[in-house]
Structure 1
Amino acid sequence: MTNIREDLRRVMIHDREFQKYSVDRRIYCVPREEIRLETQHNILFQLFGERYFFPRIDNPTSILECGYGRGDWVVRVAEEYEECEVTGIDIYPVHLPDQPDNLTLFGYNLNDRLDDPEVFEHKPYDLIHSRSVAQGIESARWPHYIRDLRRWLKPAGWLQMAEYYLNIQSNNGSLTEQSALREWWRDYVRAMEESKRNPRVARNLGQLLTDAGCRYIGGHTFDLPVGGWRPEPHMARLGRESVEMVGELLESASLFLFTERLGKTAAQVESLNNAARMELRDPNLHLYVPM
């Protein structure tokens, strides 16, 4: 567990606010982005059929979220299940307004062994939720991270994980290798790998869960549409809502990585992100983000 006072210090980089603790240690170098995270939660909640989790758990008594971010998921779950003890851990332990009484938050580096007795002792979980933490977890840590999570599950507990695969696809094949989105992805892969992170971990979660000894593993790829090209009215609406959010996601994921690891200037990164955003706004490309 990390020191809360140190966790909350901030530093300005390229006119964006970052967590100093995380940047200094090269853990999770993404700027603060409260509005995008709230929008992302609402979009994914709709994409997932307005479900907070997929396994059937009727009366959970203990739930853990790893990487609670702005708190959108963990707060709503705590409010939905008032008799359940809910715990959230995150590298940047922000204080949440109107925090439910049954919710406890801790600062924690997910690259460390999940064994702090103040957080985990005598708390076997019905559900552990881990989402969008790939940029912070070292490649070599993933097998141990999942084994740590499995250790804290009840015998009939469930582990739910979700990650973006940021190699954005075109449903009609119109996205070429010369596109800005393809260039962005190639730079992202190189920068992530140089940071000892796995840019493709979303595609490997099933195997990692199997290797960790988990049972009854199920998996599903959700394709988040970008733009209103889907024929179904609710998916078209969701796609229109996702355009700006995905553009902001690409910006936040690349700003520090591309300047720090690839030697690009902030202006070069901004230019690439602007070109990628233009493509995201093109309805003729029929884009989607696998998750």
Structure 2
Amino acid sequence: MSSIHEDLRRVAIHDRDFQKTSVDKRIYCVPVDEREEDRLTTQHDVLFRYFGHRLFFANIESPSKILECGYGRGDWVVAVAEEFEDCEVTGVDIYPILITDQPDNLNLFGYNLNDRLNHPEVFERNAYDLIHSRFVGPGIKTSRWSGYVRDMKALLRPNGWLEMVEYYPNIQSDRGLLSSQSALRRWYETYVSAMERSNRNPRIGQRLQHLMADAGLREVGGSVFHLPIGGWDTDPIKASIGRDNLAMIEELLDSLAIWSFTEKLGWTMAQVEALTNAARAEAQDVSLRLYIPV
């Protein structure tokens, strides 16, 4: 799969729907069904609230062009298009989901981010005020990351901004209560093994600043946010966010494991379910005060 496409064909794998071509070509092997769409919407809502109801951190008041790489369910890209009605907004994703009531200033394309970001019908060099890339790690080859960031830099206008967000999926305890034998730790180590066999870097979030600096971007900065899992925080706002995030994380543990654990590690679904169910049960334990680094 390369360049522009409108491939929405699905294939059922262990009772979940995946994009057929994406699985066949080993691009983005995560479900694309309604259950996953609901997870993506919750994920967007959780981050939007945690980030203080900000869609981005860059100081941009009147953008003329914005690009999102990996628009997923479309929640972020639609919100940006609605907030900046005079801005031309473009979203690209390996699975180009159709969006009801799509804003007139929003254009969506199916695109494989492992390809160069240079298709003239989609991208414009030196043009974008903001490029937003979020949670595309499972779909990008390890060797592609440097080129991916360089490609985005080439699309930015002078003084434009690039914002990137990725999980570090090693869920932590605020009280240091997770041992090497905990279900969440075992899930993470299994996921790392599966992703490395898939030519993916599950720790890529830790290298984003380095990649940006190497690409020649200026004023590079970054932050690690501890997104709470469960309602343990004494701050009622963060507790509410944490409760919603728990529901999202429970789904994430399943979505990321189904294909990778069975196809790359040879696990049975019974083995996958046993570990993910144990990890979910652990995630529900508020006494652990869990969070996921973002």
Distance 1:31 1:3 in 2: 19
Q: 1:49 offset after TM fit, Å?
A: 1.1
Q: 1:122 offset after TM fit, Å?
A: 5.8
Offset from partner CA, 1:242-288 (integer Å, 9 cap, x none): 11110101110111000000000111111111000000000111100
3-state SS of paired residue (2:259): helix
3-state SS of paired residue (2:121): helix
Of the three residues 152, 155, 159, the one matched with 1:156 is 159
Distance 2:287 2:4 in 1: 47
Is 1:15 matched up with 2:19? Answer: no
Which residue does 2:222 correspond to in 1?
A: 219
Which residue does 1:171 correspond to in 2?
A: 174
Q: Is the 8 A contact 2:124 2:155 kept in 1?
A: no
Q: 1:2 offset after TM fit, Å?
A: 3.3
3-state SS of paired residue (1:120): coil
In the comparison of the two structures, how many residue pairs are matched? 289
3-state SS of paired residue (1:117): coil
3-state SS of paired residue (1:118): coil
The aligned runs of 1:247-266 (5 Å cut-off) are 247-266=250-269
Of the three residues 62, 71, 87, the one matched with 1:84 is 87
Of the three residues 3, 6, 31, the one matched with 2:5 is 3
Which residue does 1:27 correspond to in 2?
A: 27
Distance 1:87 1:3 in 2: 15
Offset from partner CA, 1:44-80 (integer Å, 9 cap, x none): 1011111001010010000000000010000010000
Q: 1:3 offset after TM fit, Å?
A: 2.7
Offset from partner CA, 1:162-219 (integer Å, 9 cap, x none): 0000000001011111111010011011000000100100111111111111100111
Distance 1:142 1:14 in 2: 30
Q: Is the 8 A contact 1:62 1:123 kept in 2?
A: no
Q: Is the 8 A contact 2:125 2:155 kept in 1?
A: no
Is 1:205 matched up with 2:173? Answer: no
Q: Is the 8 A contact 2:125 2:154 kept in 1?
A: no
3-state SS of paired residue (2:62): coil
Q: 1:100 to 1:128 in 2, by over 3 A?
A: same
Offset from partner CA, 1:102-160 (integer Å, 9 cap, x none): 00001100000111011113671000000000000000000000000000000010000
Distance 2:124 2:195 in 1: 33
Which residue does 1:193 correspond to in 2?
A: 196
Which shifted more, 246-255 or 115-124?
115-124
Distance 1:209 1:221 in 2: 16
Gaps of 5+ in 2: none
Which residue does 2:69 correspond to in 1?
A: 66
**What is the Cα-based RMSD across aligned positions, in Å?**
0.9
Q: Is the 8 A contact 1:23 1:29 kept in 2?
A: yes
Is 1:141 matched up with 2:144? Answer: yes
Q: Is the 8 A contact 1:45 1:51 kept in 2?
A: yes
Q: Is the 8 A contact 1:191 1:261 kept in 2?
A: yes
Q: 1:102 to 1:123 in 2, by over 3 A?
A: farther
3-state SS of paired residue (2:159): strand
Which shifted more, 60-69 or 264-273?
264-273
Q: Is the 8 A contact 2:129 2:160 kept in 1?
A: yes
Distance 1:122 1:187 in 2: 40
3-state SS of paired residue (1:143): helix
Q: What amino acid is aligned across from residue 23 of structure 1 in structure 2?
A: V
Is 1:131 matched up with 2:139? Answer: no
Q: What amino acid is aligned across from residue 12 of structure 2 in structure 1?
A: M
Distance 2:93 2:198 in 1: 20
Which residue does 2:108 correspond to in 1?
A: 105
3-state SS of paired residue (1:245): helix
Distance 1:219 1:231 in 2: 26
Q: Is the 8 A contact 1:163 1:202 kept in 2?
A: yes
Of the three residues 220, 232, 235, the one matched with 2:235 is 232
